[in-house]
Amino acid sequence: MTAAFTDAGVTGQLHATDIDTGTSLGVHADTEAPTASVHKLCVIATLYREASLGRVDRRRPVDIPAENRAPGGTGLATMRDAARLSLRDLATLAVAVSDNTAADLLIDALGLDTVNQCMTDLGLTRTIAVQTMRELHTSLREDAAGTPAALTDPAVVAHLRALDPTRTNRSTPRELTRLLTAVWRDELCAGEYGEELRAVLGLQAWTHRLAAGFPFDDVRVSGKTGSLPTLRHEAGVVEYPDGGRYAVAVFTRAAATTVTLPAADAAIGTAARIAVDALRADRALRA
């Protein structure tokens, strides 16, 4: 796994766990890092937990004005007209195309304190949200002095608040796999809520990172990516037809500041595949 990261020109962190046996392995799995859009997992998990407890109606409609939407190249940020969507449909957008506006509307409905309390209740004390997606992107603009091109300048990137885990949303690979394990074990929420949550997490459109390591028609990959200058992450669950279920979280940071770095994206899938293969081999030995 370390070689896969090195070959791609990145430093990497990884944690992978067999959801059913609890066997796990990792590389720097307990080091805190900025989560970027991976933190949307925490927001959506909180929505379904609160709904299962009767504190939020996930079908509640939200009016979305055409103006003042969170920055982003996908989803509601690119749309021109006012809209109305339910909370659960906003969750779908937040996963499927990493919609920042949808995620912020969910945060508005739930509150960051509720999101953090949900994580604390699961024992994830190092998984903390301190800002909305709009606030995160505002900090990027401010730190780049309003010049997007500056975000590829190594001197600027080195001082971005969004890349400092003490000043932005953060977690560790181990804690994110614990969150995903709770979702797949129905420990976060059960019944229709758990089923719907897992279905939503399976709708992500991007297949160039985690899913790239498992190019099989009968293997299902559910996950959420996260990207910021030099950062490429993904956390998700890989499910095999024999019933094996594996939660994996991979964080990477590139030395290069270029926006497009396919080798770094591919390294996420490669490292995840190596980890899952090792867990499957262990499972076979135990059988």
Spans of all domains in the chain: 2-286
Query: Cβ distance 27 to 272 under 8 Å?
Result: no
* 200: CB partners within 8 A, 6+ apart: 44, 88, 91, 92, 95
Helices 191-201 and 173-184, axial angle in degrees (round to 10): 130
Residues 273, 255 contacting (CB under 8 angstroms): no
- Specify the residue for token string 């979702």: 183
117 burial type by CB count under 10 A (0-12 exposed, 13-18 middle, 19+ buried): middle
Q: Give the residue from 7, 32, 265 showing the smallest Cα distance to 169.
A: 32
* pLDDT tens, the chain, 287 aa long: 999 999 999 999 999 999 999 999 999 999 999 999 999 999 999 999 999 999 999 999 999 999 989 988 899 999 999 999 999 999 999 999 999 999 999 999 999 999 999 999 999 999 999 999 999 999 999 999 978 888 999 999 999 999 999 999 999 999 999 999 999 999 999 999 999 999 999 999 999 999 999 999 999 999 999 999 999 999 999 999 999 999 999 999 999 999 899 999 999 999 999 999 999 999 888 87
Give the pLDDT score at 287: 74
Question: What pLDDT, on a 0 to 100 scale, did the predictor assign at position 248?
Answer: 98
pLDDT of the residue at 286: 81
What does each C-alpha distance from 280 to 26, 143, 207, 275 come to in angstroms?
15, 44, 22, 9
DSSP 8-51: TTEEEEEEEEETTT--EEEESTT--EE-GGGGHHHHHHHHHHHH
Q: Give the DSSP letter string of 56-70.
A: S-TT-EEEE-SSSPP
Alpha helices (runs of H) in the chain, residue ranges in sequence order: 2-7, 40-52, 87-96, 100-110, 112-121, 133-143, 154-157, 173-184, 191-201, 262-286
Q: Which CATH architecture has domain 2-286?
A: 3-Layer(aba) Sandwich (3.40)
Element (H, E) at 86: strand 83-86
> What's the CA angle centered on 70, arms 66 and 72, to 5 degrees?
105
Question: Is 3 in a helix, a strand, or coil?
Answer: helix
Hey, what are 73's tokens?
Answer: 């190249």
Question: What's the CA gap between 83 and 106, in Å, rounded?
Answer: 15
